[in-house]
């Protein structure tokens, strides 16, 4: 090879081999030596491994009712999880399904809500029993990788959720960061006060493992005598690097207006 060495360096050769291996093999190889562990756990290697293995056998997460009910509420079915190892063969044979337990549990949790899944990482909120009666509560949120059975619990924020809060999971390709956006409805008419309705945004970053935000906005179409403020109807969707929400605002008892809101974090 003219103008350079005909040989690859040891580190480059190791990376070229490791990047083609499945995740389960990489987990075992992390124990071989410190240098391999450093390579495998680096953000650069994780991104390279993800881009190199774009078409692996897919993993399907399923929840189902086993005919049992949650011990905290006999009206809510007990949830369970299964993995489908081969997406090209339907699970006609139950042996293809591998049941496993969710690795994180909260004593007062009555159900789990899947907020989304990106690049094999699943975002789940743990719903407490008091949440359904309209009480503000802290909702534990977990980022979970079922392939390697590891999870990250988000730090407790300095705000509370209500049943009108919108919680969305997204990925920022510009910074290679997974983020969770929480939108809370604040203000509006109450029995004692009347303040302009607004939306309050909070953003969690996996890279920094911290919450930030708390800033408010009120779209122009919702200002003035337009009723009691925005009400979310459905979950958001990540498209083109932006999060989209379809929201409604109550104008009077019989009329609801819909508007799309697009969020782009700079």
| Residues 189-246: tens digit of each pLDDT | 544 555 666 778 888 999 899 998 877 776 555 544 444 555 554 566 767 667 777 6
pLDDT class of 67 with cuts at 50, 70, 90: very low
Which of 30-34, 140-144, 251-255 shows the lowest per-residue confidence on average (mean pLDDT)? 251-255
Of 193, 263, 198, 183, the closest CA to residue 230 belongs to 198
Cα separation values, 175 from 21, 145, 147, 241, Å: 25, 20, 24, 11
Phi-psi region of 67 (alpha: psi -120 to 50; beta: other; left: phi over 0): left
User: Distance from CA of residue 232 to its chain's centroid?
Assistant: 18
Query: Which of the pair, 105 or 73, is modelled with greater confidence?
Result: 105
Structure tokens at 142: 């977990």
User: Distance from CA of residue 83 to its chain's centroid?
Assistant: 18
Query: What is the per-residue pLDDT for 257?
Result: 45
Query: What is the per-residue pLDDT for 167?
Result: 83
Distance CA 87, CA 64 (A): 18
Say if residues 108 and 72 touch (Cβ distance below 8 Å).
yes
Which residues have a Cβ under 8 Å from the Cβ of 61 and sit 6 or more positions away?
81, 82, 83, 114, 117, 122, 146
pTM attached to this predicted model: 0.66
139 by Cβ neighbours in 10 Å (0-12 / 13-18 / 19+) ranks as: buried
Fold of 105-263: Lipocalin (2.40.128)
Report domain extents, the chain.
10-52, 105-263
Structure tokens at 90: 């339907």
| Residues 3-55: tens digit of each pLDDT | 444 545 677 888 888 888 887 788 888 888 888 888 887 877 877 877 777 65
């Amino acid at each position: 090879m003219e103008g350079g060495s005909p040989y690859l360096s040891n580190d480059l050769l190791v990376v070229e081999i490791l990047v083609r291996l499945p995740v389960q093999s990489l987990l075992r190889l992390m124990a071989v030596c410190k240098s391999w562990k450093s390579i495998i756990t680096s953000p650069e290697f994780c991104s390279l491994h993800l881009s190199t293995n774009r078409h692996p056998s897919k993993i399907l997460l399923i929840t189902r009712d086993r005919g049992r009910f949650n011990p905290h509420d006999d009206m809510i079915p007990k949830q369970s999880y299964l993995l489908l190892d081969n997406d090209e063969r339907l699970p006609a044979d139950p042996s293809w399904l591998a049941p496993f337990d969710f690795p994180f549990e909260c004593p007062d949790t009555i159900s789990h809500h899947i907020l989304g899944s990106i690049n094999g990482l699943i975002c789940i909120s743990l719903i407490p029993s008091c949440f359904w009666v309209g009480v503000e509560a802290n909702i534990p949120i977990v980022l979970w990788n079922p392939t390697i059975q590891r999870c990250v619990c988000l730090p407790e924020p300095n705000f509370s959720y209500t049943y009108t809060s919108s919680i969305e999971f997204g990925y920022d390709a510009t910074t290679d960061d997974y983020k969770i956006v929480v939108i809370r409805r604040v203000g509006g008419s109450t029995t004692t006060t009347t303040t302009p309705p607004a939306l309050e945004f909070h953003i969690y970053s996996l890279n920094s493992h911290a919450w930030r935000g708390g800033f408010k906005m009120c779209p122009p179409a919702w200002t003035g005598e337009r009723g009691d403020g925005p009400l979310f109807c459905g979950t958001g969707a990540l498209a083109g690097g932006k999060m989209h929400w379809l929201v409604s605002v109550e104008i009077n008892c019989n009329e609801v207006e819909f508007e799309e809101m697009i969020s782009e974090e700079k």
